[in-house]
A and B are shown apart, each in its own frame.
Chain A
Amino acid sequence: MRLEKCWFCSSTVYPGHGIQFVRNDAKIFHFCRSKCHKNFKMKRNPRKVKWTKAYRRLHGKDMTQDSTFEFERKRNRPERYDRNLAENTLKAIKKIDKIRSDRASDHIKNRLKTGKVQRQKEARKQLELGIHLVKAPLALAQDSSLCLLKIKVNVSQAQTEENQPMEE
């Protein structure tokens, strides 16, 4: 019993699910559900279909190269059963999984970080420029409790002492 990868979307095909198609040149295609199967029959290229893993990897959305991928490799030579080895393998799988998923999420976070920073910068700029639409500048200057901006104050001893209680 083996878990296969769907040829189209690269998700795992569990036993009892999906369809296997064997072509005349003896190449076997596994599909996880009829959606992938029908897309295949329409001759669509998974690398161009946005929701597939192939697309995401190709366009750098998901992590491509990592040492954690080296652990999972189809082995054709059977190994003699060893209980300790089996135990270690099972424990290792969990750890490797965790590390891989952490790295993958880091990858995505990094990718999204520049966007986030940029959005923040834009937001700040917009706040500065557009506050006059919401509050009159004169009103803001007078009533410091309603200030939304940071007031630039000269640093001197007395004033810093004043500021400290306010900040707290």
Chain B
Amino acid sequence: MVQNNFKKITVVPNGKDFIDVILSRTQRQTPTVVHKGYAISRLRQFYMRKVKYTQQNFHEKLSTIIDEFPCLDDIQSILWSLISKIAKDYVKLLKYGDLLCRCKSLKVAALGRMCTVIKRIGPSLAYLEQIRQHMARLPSIDPNTRTMLICGYPNVGKSSFMNKITRADVDVQPYAFTTKSLFVGHTDYKYLRYQVIDTPGILDRPFEDRNIIEMCSITVLAHLRAAVLFFLDISGSCGYSISQQAALFHSIKSLFMNKPLIIVCNKTDLQPLDGISEADRKLVMEMKGEAMKTVIGVLLIMSTLTEDGVIAVKNAACERLLNQRVELKMKSKKINDCLNRFCVALPKPRDQKERPACIPQAVLETKAKQAAEKEKRKTEKDLEDENGGAGVYSASLRKNYILSNDEWKEDIMPEILDGHNVYDFIDPDILLRLEELEHEEDLSPEEQEALAEIRKKKSLLIQQHRMKKSTAESRPVVPRKFDTDRKFTTERMGRQLSSLGLDPSLAINRARSKSRGRKRERSVDRRDGDDGDAMDIDDNQASKKLRLRSTSRSRSRSRPPSEVVPGEGLKDSAQKVKTIKLAKKSVLKRNKNARRGEADRVIPTLKPKHLFSGKRSIGKTQRQ
């Protein structure tokens, strides 16, 4: 029997509908067509089937109705027996039916009698339907689960308390009997669901005089095993004095047997508990005493308006109820089975040492630091607020740029230059490529000047070299220290270096400091002649001297060397050539030895060291 789900009871049809439904089903579900010419057994079977089918249907439907309704056992059997009796009788008669029409009429009669039976119980069906409707509207209360009952005088604050702790939205009004029936809400405590039932107010009257609404509360108090919260209005704003409420309490305290009782003093914001009169206090203490006597009772104060103490009351009630239920369970026989299924495993302590959770110091520190940081850190929003708010301050987006040099953060770079996009030209090695490009181009005027100078100097060097080459045969190879022309002087070096663009002072000083004090070497006099020892490489002087000295230059004054000038005493040009040749040959050896003339037999060093000392690698040193 489904007790809770009154809403799920099927609709009870009224008499006429019931009959209609059954008959149409019979017609549909059984074969409909039958002919005269069939075998009689077949005819009989056909009609018997119909009768039986109808009987079965009635039985089914009625039994479902009765099953669903909580308490209609006896009716069930009567009805059932009636209908089955009819069915049985007619089936018996049908067995002996010989004609189609007779069978058919038998069937019709059977069905008709069954229908009349149902018609007779038609009014009871209607009544059942009404009950069903009424019951469907009742709140579904599970009598076995944890339940809390709220009771007391009207207007003490039961419904407002209900609203506070559950999600039920009960009407709260200043007039009495606002709540006319039971209301159920649910609340949670320690992961368990509790039913909270709000009742209409009870007045202090003898049992017989109570009206229907009050009877609701009384009934529920009597039948449900739940924790009871008796509400007391301390301030008296409900319209009833404390003495009246106390009287009520005493009259219904018999209903509070074996139930955890909590006396709740409500509306303490209007009148604190300490402020009530002596008599009233005495009454309240009496009630408390009574409560203590029962299972577990307590007195609590609260105010639903200020929500002061509401949670405490709820927790206390739930706790007490839970404890009571657990106790009961423990005492019952079923507990042994349950206990077998539980096992709480704890590790066996090795010794008395306490081992709490270990958090490394570093973690604690960082946690503390993070917390501090979170408070102290300045966000961008704070910065914005400081500097004038949203419209005034614009955040600097460049603040956190990562650049090689932080000074560049505020740089403005142009995007366009002379009709080009600058970004198209950016290249890390743009300078290199630019250089290459410029190399492809022609030389600039400065470069061309420099080039001209280089070429001039080069040509001079070449000229000098050529001159040296032409007279190389009869020029002596003299080491530099015998500076004949005195051209390797520091002044000359200074002039040359400064023309190159260097500062010669250091070099000059060094040269002078390093040179040994020599006595004046034998200076070779300057000589005129074709052999021209005077080969000075100084720029301007050189060319001038060359021009003056060289006799082979200007064409206007030149004569071919082999031309015989009358008066020389030579026969012809061939002879002259030979003469010149001989003359040169005679001078060659002397010049090569750097001799000034025929009579120059000077030996600069009589005993040069390199010839008079040293060991030999091979041979004797007798004569060196």
Interface residues on B, range: 20 to 34
Spot the interface stretch: A51-59, A74-82, A156-164. A74-82
Q: Are A83 and B408 neighbours in the complex by a CB distance under 8 Å? A: yes
Spot the interface stretch: B38-46, B351-359, B425-433, B577-585. B425-433
Closest to B404 in A: A82
CA distance A130 to B423 in the complex (A): 61
- The residue from B404, B411, B416 contacting A1, defined by CB atoms under 8 A apart: B416
Instruction: Tell me how far the C-beta of B17 lies from the nearest C-beta in chain A, rounded to whole angstroms.
Output: 69
Q: Are B408 and A97 neighbours in the complex by a CB distance under 8 Å? A: no
Q: Are B437 and A96 neighbours in the complex by a CB distance under 8 Å? A: yes
Instruction: Tell me how far the C-beta of B397 lies from the nearest C-beta in chain A, rounded to whole angstroms.
Output: 13
Q: Are B411 and A79 neighbours in the complex by a CB distance under 8 Å? A: no
CA distance A85 to B428 in the complex (A): 7
Q: Is B441 an interface residue (CB 8 A)?
A: yes
| Residues of chain A with a CB closer than 8 A to B419's CB | 3, 12
CA distance A70 to B437 in the complex (A): 11
Q: Are A92 and B430 neighbours in the complex by a CB distance under 8 Å? A: yes
| Residues of chain A with a CB closer than 8 A to B74's CB | none
| A-B Cβ contacts below 8 A, count | 80
Q: Is A89 an interface residue (CB 8 A)?
A: yes
Q: Is A90 an interface residue (CB 8 A)?
A: yes
Q: A81-B403, A82-B404, A93-B420 are in contact. Are A75 and B415 (CB under 8 A)?
A: no
CA distance A79 to B430 in the complex (A): 13
Within 8 A of B (CB), among A25-84: 67-68, 70-75, 79-83
Within 8 A of A (CB), among B424-465: 424-428, 430-431, 433-434, 437-438, 440-441
CA distance A31 to B431 in the complex (A): 34
Closest to A15 in B: B416
CA distance A74 to B440 in the complex (A): 24
Q: Are A80 and B403 neighbours in the complex by a CB distance under 8 Å? A: yes
Within 8 A of A (CB), among B259-274: none
CA distance A92 to B425 in the complex (A): 9
- The residue from B413, B417, B424, B431 contacting A73, defined by CB atoms under 8 A apart: B424
| Residues of chain B with a CB closer than 8 A to A72's CB | 420, 424-425
Q: Are A75 and B426 neighbours in the complex by a CB distance under 8 Å? A: yes
| Residues of chain B with a CB closer than 8 A to A86's CB | 411, 413, 422, 426
| Residues of chain A with a CB closer than 8 A to B430's CB | 71, 85, 88-89, 92
Closest to B408 in A: A83
| Residues of chain A with a CB closer than 8 A to B414's CB | 90
Instruction: Tell me how far the C-beta of B411 lies from the nearest C-beta in chain A, rounded to whole angstroms.
Output: 6
| Residues of chain B with a CB closer than 8 A to A83's CB | 405, 408, 411
Closest to B418 in A: A97
| Residues of chain A with a CB closer than 8 A to B425's CB | 71-72, 89, 92-93, 96
Q: Is B421 an interface residue (CB 8 A)?
A: yes
- The residue from A2, A71, A81, A96 contacting B413, defined by CB atoms under 8 A apart: A81
Q: Are A93 and B422 neighbours in the complex by a CB distance under 8 Å? A: yes
| Residues of chain B with a CB closer than 8 A to A80's CB | 402-404
- The residue from B417, B421, B433 contacting A90, defined by CB atoms under 8 A apart: B417
Within 8 A of B (CB), among A112-133: none
| Residues of chain B with a CB closer than 8 A to A73's CB | 424
| Residues of chain B with a CB closer than 8 A to A81's CB | 401, 403, 408, 411, 413
Q: Is A99 an interface residue (CB 8 A)?
A: yes
Give the residue among A3, A67, A68, A80 with the most B Cβ atoms within 10 A: A3
Q: Are A85 and B418 neighbours in the complex by a CB distance under 8 Å? A: no
Interface residues on A, range: 20 to 34
Q: Are A94 and B422 neighbours in the complex by a CB distance under 8 Å? A: no
Q: Is A95 an interface residue (CB 8 A)?
A: yes
Q: Are B428 and A79 neighbours in the complex by a CB distance under 8 Å? A: yes
CA distance A80 to B441 in the complex (A): 32
| Residues of chain B with a CB closer than 8 A to A89's CB | 422, 425-427, 430
Closest to B398 in A: A81
| Residues of chain B with a CB closer than 8 A to A94's CB | 417-418
CA distance A75 to B434 in the complex (A): 18
Q: Are A99 and B441 neighbours in the complex by a CB distance under 8 Å? A: yes
Instruction: Tell me how far the C-beta of A86 lies from the nearest C-beta in chain B, rounded to whole angstroms.
Output: 5
Q: Are B415 and A1 neighbours in the complex by a CB distance under 8 Å? A: yes
| Residues of chain A with a CB closer than 8 A to B408's CB | 81-83
CA distance A82 to B419 in the complex (A): 22
Q: Are B421 and A3 neighbours in the complex by a CB distance under 8 Å? A: yes
Q: Are B434 and A96 neighbours in the complex by a CB distance under 8 Å? A: yes
CA distance A149 to B427 in the complex (A): 61
Give the residue among B423, B425, B428 with the most A Cβ atoms within 10 A: B425
Instruction: Tell me how far the C-beta of A9 lies from the nearest C-beta in chain B, rounded to whole angstroms.
Output: 14
CA distance A72 to B428 in the complex (A): 14
CA distance A68 to B430 in the complex (A): 12
CA distance A79 to B421 in the complex (A): 15
- The residue from A70, A74, A90, A92 contacting B431, defined by CB atoms under 8 A apart: A92
| Residues of chain A with a CB closer than 8 A to B421's CB | 2-3
| Residues of chain B with a CB closer than 8 A to A93's CB | 417-418, 420, 422, 425
Q: Are A75 and B424 neighbours in the complex by a CB distance under 8 Å? A: yes
Closest to A67 in B: B437
Give the residue among A12, A70, A80, A83 with the most B Cβ atoms within 10 A: A83
| Residues of chain A with a CB closer than 8 A to B413's CB | 81, 86
CA distance A2 to B402 in the complex (A): 25
Closest to B415 in A: A1
Q: Are B411 and A68 neighbours in the complex by a CB distance under 8 Å? A: no
Give the residue among A81, A86, A99 with the most B Cβ atoms within 10 A: A81
CA distance A81 to B398 in the complex (A): 12
Give the residue among B401, B426, B438 with the most A Cβ atoms within 10 A: B426
Within 8 A of A (CB), among B362-412: 401-405, 408, 411
Question: Can you list 26 pairs linking A and B with CB atoms under 8 Å apart?
Answer: A1-B415, A3-B416, A3-B419, A70-B433, A71-B433, A72-B425, A80-B404, A82-B404, A83-B405, A83-B408, A83-B411, A86-B411, A86-B413, A88-B430, A89-B426, A90-B414, A92-B425, A92-B430, A92-B431, A93-B417, A93-B422, A96-B425, A96-B434, A96-B437, A97-B418, A99-B441
Which residues of B are interface residues toward A (Cβ below 8 A)?
401-405, 408, 411, 413-428, 430-431, 433-434, 437-438, 440-441
Q: A81-B403, A82-B403, A96-B434 provided; 13 other pairs, C-beta below 8 A?
A: A2-B421, A3-B421, A70-B433, A71-B430, A71-B433, A72-B424, A80-B402, A81-B413, A83-B408, A83-B411, A85-B426, A89-B426, A97-B420
